[in-house]
Structure 1
Amino acid sequence: MYKLSIKKIIRLAAVTLITCSLFSCMSDKSEQSKSFSVQITDKPLTFCNPITLDFGTDRARRAGEAVVAIHQDDYYLFITGLRGYWYSGNMRDWTYVDAPDIPGGCPSVASDGERLIVSGDKSRRDVYASADPKSGVWEKVGYYDREYGDADMFIDDDGRYYMYWGWSQILPFQVVELDPDNGFKEKGKPVTLFFGDYKSHGFERRRPEDVIFSIFSYRDYLPEENPWIEGPWMVKHNGKYYLQYAAIGLELSTYSHGIYVADNPMGPFKYSPHNPLTFKTTGFMVGAGHGSTFHDKNGQLWTIVMIPSFYGGRGSGELALFPTAVDAEGVMHSNTEFGDYPQYYPGIKENAVANNFTGWMLLSNKKYVEVSSTLEGYGPEKAVDEYFLTHWCAATGDPGEYMKVDLGKICDIYAVQVNFDRHDAKLEMGRGFRMPPSLSQYQSYTVEVSGDNENWSMLIDKSNNTVDNRHDYTELAKPVKARYVKLTNVFTHDEGKFAVKDFRIFGNPDVAKFTKVKDIMVVRDPDDPCKAKLLWQPVDGADGYVVRYGIQPDKLYNDYLVYDDYTLDIHSLNRDQEYYFEVEAFDSGTDYFHEKTRQTMGIGAEIELFRDREMLARKMIVEGKNEYVFENIIPGTYQLRHTFGPNMWVGDLTKEQLIGSDNQVTLSEKISDLGVGTKVLGQLNIKVIPGKENGKFVVTLNYDKP
């Protein structure tokens, strides 16, 4: 180490974080609940971030500023921009309640044991309560003295009420006591708690390279402007008051949470030097800000966060969930290591902050992909690149468009997550109260598996899908063995093209390997201690690395997930703290598909087919794609050559060779060997296949050596 009245039963289809059961955080000394009761015993047991909220047959919409609260032994989930909410007995199976009377802004939710109390819209000071929130019936019970931006009402164990608020680049977080017997008016004067401090707290900084989408339509971000702090949320644990805040903005990959701690709800509050609480800038899913931390029914902590999303070229927000804990020394921390890999639902694993990761590894990352078609600029490699801002797009949204992933070997597959985009869709992803009309069918597809690329079995059949699900995660009833996994479009709604952000396949827990890296070099920036550079010795065959860091050797509570590199620039440190670092390699038991050098440095060539000296078509051949088909071939004299090069084949094609109904090859010839240097690695061949009205001229590349 280095120094929701309409009701529908729905399922929260998503995931959370990783655990450390396989890693060094096994030694985490987080305080445990005195007794643990398993809340879910039937499958599915897992979910995978990002979380998709199920709106029944309604369209998906922006989800953010989430609040989860327990009221009378049920979980309640509220999000911004929705006059409704969900409740659940187990955090997996949810019922949506339509509640048109509640404000619907950035939610503040608190339970006094008898009523659930809600407020939140900055322009509406109304406070509402319900003794039966499952009914959707609410009554106005108060009116605030002022507009509280990003309000959080907190009810202490002694029955006293407090309001925390703050949402600004300039203004501080504040707190004031409220009088519930007087319409929730203020008692006394507000107390200033803290401001942002980007000079001391690296994760609070706004950097141009972290901007995903701009909230400004009229200017760029300016270097002199302060980052935002927002989203106060109070959670009390073991007598301590933990005031959570979000830093710098949804539009940045560095959206995150920090914590201040106090012995009194009015403060004074002390900054936690172990911050950030949630921070995730690498992997498929990034960002981890403006949410809430809550106790589950076992007393274990979880943090639900808002993350940036991007569909059809438009930025928005979604949700993710991470296990959280307070250690024996009172330090609150979350586990985001494998935060976008399959995780167990709350109430399944005791000490979830250390044991929640399933161990199901990502098998599809950087694998070879075959597709039915590609829209220029949106290649198939983008559907297996672990980057939510990119996507593969087929040329159409027609049924039958497909992508097929070669995992490289037979693997044990436990779960699949399909992440869709909205390329050229006629309607954008919705947000707010006014939504486009719902549909009877949304993105529909099938997933098939094969061991030999010839014999296929249906794995998932969603040919008539009625749920608008951006991140469709499926935990298999039992693992299957396969090498090839095929995703096929059945229907794409809103006249869009079939587009996939990432087709993520998980499994191989029994062969996964984790290796501590011995040689690490860390250089702390002497002019800006919030930054550090890391370099480590690569581990052969590693899929990636977990970089853990913290201010004590046994409290490495922060992390980065690194793919495709063995260096890292860290910019999230606290200026006045010394740090320890650790790097661990992980390997799924599969190898990345590496584009062979000759594919990009010499073996590719443009070929041309002429008929009677008139060019019919050009095609660029590369190793990795084995067939190149020239359609609509009629009788005549043909020449195959490469551009500006010699003829490779000249010959007459007759009616007898080109017209027929049995699809049997009528001409097959070897044209040339293929190779590098003195090595012969394959052959360039041609064949002619007849059709009812015309034939096909097919050029094939056959490599028999690596």
Structure 2
Amino acid sequence: MINRLKYSLLVAALFLSLIGFAQNRTYCNPINIDYGYCPIPDFVKQGKHRATADPVIVQNKGTFYLFSTNQWGYWYSDDLSNWTFVSRKFLRPEHKVYDELCAPSASFVNDTLLVVGSTHGKEFPIWMSTNPKNNEWKELVHKSEAGAWDPQIFWDADTDQIYEYFGSSNLYPLYGFKLNRKTFQPEGEAIPMIALNDDEHGWERFGEHNDNTFLQPFLEGAFMTKHNNKYYLQYGAPGTEFSGYADGVYVGNSPLGPFEYQSHNPFSYKPGGFARGAGHGATFLNTNQSYWHTSTIGICTKNNFERRIGIWPAGFDRDGVMFCNTAYGDYPTYLPNVKQSGEFTRWMLLNYNKPVIVSSTLGGLQPNFSVDEDIKTYWSAKTGNAGEYLISDLGQRATINAIQINYADQDVEFMGKSTPKNGHQYRLYVSNDGKKWTLLVDKSNNEKDVPHEYIELEKSATARYVKLENVKMPTGTFAISGFRIFGNGNQAKPTEVQNFVALRTPPKVKGERRNVWFKWQQNPTADGYVIYFGKSADKLYGSIMVYGKNEYYFNGLDRSDAYYFAIEAFNDSGISARTQVTKVD
């Protein structure tokens, strides 16, 4: 028996070494789950596409549960990396709607998970489960009188009281009320909680870059977190279609307020990089009591509501300020279950705008779109046939630690959830001369739907060329929005950025103080830059990733306050020292 066990372990170890990867210690946004294809017919006129948003993650007894918009089910995971989908529709037969679980609320009361979706009526039930892994649900409330859009049910464990928050509008505020602890029906009328103030808060303005001054911004996505006897009411703004989609927070001493705007806002914000947007989300605790935040990432190419999900480390500082770290937030990051939880690995992107060779090209969907660090653009081969390929030239021999393959939706044929055992199948090869290839990863028998496949190599590889060869697509052509190779190059990391200037209208001069123009001296060895901002020198919690430019217009400041800024440069080999912090009144 012992010899058989040793033999089995040896075979398993040999298998893992051959395929080049083991259980992940890291992850990379967008998270890699089987996003469903859009269920709303009117939303697919430009092409069928995957879509979900408005995520909430809750954790109980070491298991994480993920719910999001219109997925006909939910996921669970023990490590935030490997997710299992549970198929279920939270509807009764009389409900004739497609928004069966739009912007859902999911929360535990003791060990019971409560779930309810958005509705404009009073007909939706509140569902309950003590065994959600096995899809065992029943109605807690048959018809919830608290039915509303973008709901969140919050259990205050210290007082054993239940509250609900809701709202999604460019006109009305967020509301809240107390729910009866026994009936879970509302007690009294809804109370206004918070409203947008985009005249003061630049980041709340509508538009891709908070620059649309003629349309009213949207307020939505209420979520409550209690920390150290303070109540943190979070909200999303200004619109899910935009890279500047973000989450802000108000703080109060009681669950129904009054609330005050947290000075350091937005606390969850990611307007730059490959995966952009970090709004309408939820904050949750890991098993080690560290905080994380999940929220919506926008693609918004085939439809304004073409979206994905991201997770980022979050927390509260010693002064009670809520923050979320999105710097390098779409690069490999250590998962919560490892010692370096939440830390950036410092595996850099090796192939930004590097040469690409492909087997074929469909129309104007050009090869360079696969390496331009823009999730909104993509390359497509002419077919989805086996043998279509993409080769990325790193320009030098480099150390490779991880690879992310972001598939795009081109000419897909169906809607809803992907069929079982219909996964992306591919092979990865490496080469030093572009002629002789060595197999690195073989997923030619993969049955799992992996639209944002992430492979962490158990043992790093060294190569100049990386080849992605298609074996089979679940549907559509072989199309890639981001073929991203992570590791470390062999050149020097960039030197510190020089002549960094932040120009803003002074306090006593008439002008637009919600905007600032950053300008700096271009560094020829840098691929890009990260700008940090905040309202005190030791709290630069906000960040903006900028590729290939030496200026940036930021329209997300609060009008009345002074700010502090710093910048650093990065390339495929590392990150420069950060500049001294600059104060701008």
- What is the TM-score with the length of structure 1 in the denominator? 0.71
The alpha-carbon distance between structure 1 residues 84 and 208, as it changes in their structure 2 partners (threshold 3 A), is closer
Q: Is the 8 A contact 2:355 2:393 kept in 1?
A: yes
For 1:62 and 1:311, the matched residues in 2 are separated by 11
For 1:271 and 1:57, the matched residues in 2 are separated by 37
Deviations 1:376-408 (A, max 9, x none): 322211111001111122233332222211111
Q: Is the 8 A contact 1:58 1:439 kept in 2?
A: no
Q: Which residue of 1 aligns with 2:28?
A: 48
Query: By how many angstroms is 1:116 displaced?
Result: 1.4
Q: Which amino acid aligns with 1:537?
A: Q
The alpha-carbon distance between structure 1 residues 263 and 437, as it changes in their structure 2 partners (threshold 3 A), is closer
Please, which of 525, 528, 535 is the counterpart of residue 551 of structure 1? 535
For 1:395 and 1:46, the matched residues in 2 are separated by 33
For 1:307 and 1:199, the matched residues in 2 are separated by 25
> Are 2:443 and 1:462 aligned?
yes
> Are 2:464 and 1:483 aligned?
yes
For 1:509 and 1:326, the matched residues in 2 are separated by 35
Aligned residue-pair number: 528
Q: Which residue of 2 aligns with 1:394?
A: 381
Secondary structure at 1:134 match in 2: helix
For 1:568 and 1:101, the matched residues in 2 are separated by 45
State which structure, 1 or 2, has the greater radius of gyration over its C-alpha atoms: 1
Query: By how many angstroms is 1:180 displaced?
Result: 2.3
> Are 2:387 and 1:406 aligned?
no
Q: Is the 8 A contact 1:55 1:96 kept in 2?
A: no
Q: Which amino acid aligns with 1:148?
A: A
Residues 614-629 of structure 1: matches in 2 within 5 Å? none
Residues 190-269 of structure 1: matches in 2 within 5 Å? 190-207=190-207, 223-269=213-259
Q: Is the 8 A contact 1:108 1:118 kept in 2?
A: yes
Q: Which residue of 2 aligns with 1:444?
A: 425
Q: Which amino acid aligns with 1:565?
A: K
For 1:387 and 1:317, the matched residues in 2 are separated by 14
Q: Which residue of 1 aligns with 2:582?
A: none
Q: Which residue of 2 aligns with 1:425?
A: 412
The alpha-carbon distance between structure 1 residues 456 and 73, as it changes in their structure 2 partners (threshold 3 A), is closer
Could you tell me the percent identity over the aligned residues?
Answer: 38
Q: Which residue of 2 aligns with 1:582?
A: 566
The alpha-carbon distance between structure 1 residues 114 and 415, as it changes in their structure 2 partners (threshold 3 A), is closer
Please, which of 564, 569, 573 is the counterpart of residue 548 of structure 2? 564
Q: Which residue of 1 aligns with 2:154?
A: 154
Q: Which residue of 2 aligns with 1:18?
A: none
Query: By how many angstroms is 1:80 displaced?
Result: 1.9
Q: Which amino acid aligns with 1:149?
A: W
Query: By how many angstroms is 1:412 displaced?
Result: 0.2
For 2:210 and 2:359, the matched residues in 1 are separated by 34
Give the RMSD, CA atoms, in angstroms. 2.5
Bigger Cα displacement from structure 2, 573-582 vs 202-211: 202-211
Q: Which residue of 1 aligns with 2:517?
A: 533
Q: Is the 8 A contact 2:405 2:452 kept in 1?
A: yes
Q: Is the 8 A contact 2:74 2:88 kept in 1?
A: yes
Q: Which residue of 2 aligns with 1:78?
A: 67
For 1:454 and 1:47, the matched residues in 2 are separated by 31
Q: Which residue of 2 aligns with 1:134?
A: 133
Q: Which amino acid aligns with 1:287?
A: G
The alpha-carbon distance between structure 1 residues 449 and 250, as it changes in their structure 2 partners (threshold 3 A), is same
Query: By how many angstroms is 1:284 displaced?
Result: 0.9
For 1:500 and 1:54, the matched residues in 2 are separated by 16
Q: Which amino acid aligns with 1:165?
A: F
- What is the TM-score with the length of structure 2 in the denominator? 0.85
Secondary structure at 1:203 match in 2: helix
Q: Which residue of 1 aligns with 2:482?
A: 502
For 2:368 and 2:113, the matched residues in 1 are separated by 48
Q: Which residue of 1 aligns with 2:267?
A: 277
Residues 3-402 of structure 1: matches in 2 within 5 Å? 43-54=23-34, 61-101=50-90, 104-122=101-119, 123=121, 124-142=123-141, 143-156=143-156, 157-181=158-182, 183-207=183-207, 223-310=213-300, 315-349=305-339, 352=342, 356-402=343-389
Q: Which amino acid aligns with 1:134?
A: K
Q: Which residue of 1 aligns with 2:15?
A: none
Query: By how many angstroms is 1:532 displaced?
Result: 0.3
Bigger Cα displacement from structure 2, 92-101 vs 471-480: 92-101
Secondary structure at 1:287 match in 2: strand
Deviations 1:291-321 (A, max 9, x none): 1001111111110011112576775121000
Q: Is the 8 A contact 1:57 1:467 kept in 2?
A: no
Unpaired segments ≥5 residues, structure 2: 1-21, 40-48, 92-99, 575-585
Q: Which amino acid aligns with 1:282?
A: G
Q: Is the 8 A contact 1:56 1:467 kept in 2?
A: no
Query: By how many angstroms is 1:208 displaced?
Result: 5.9
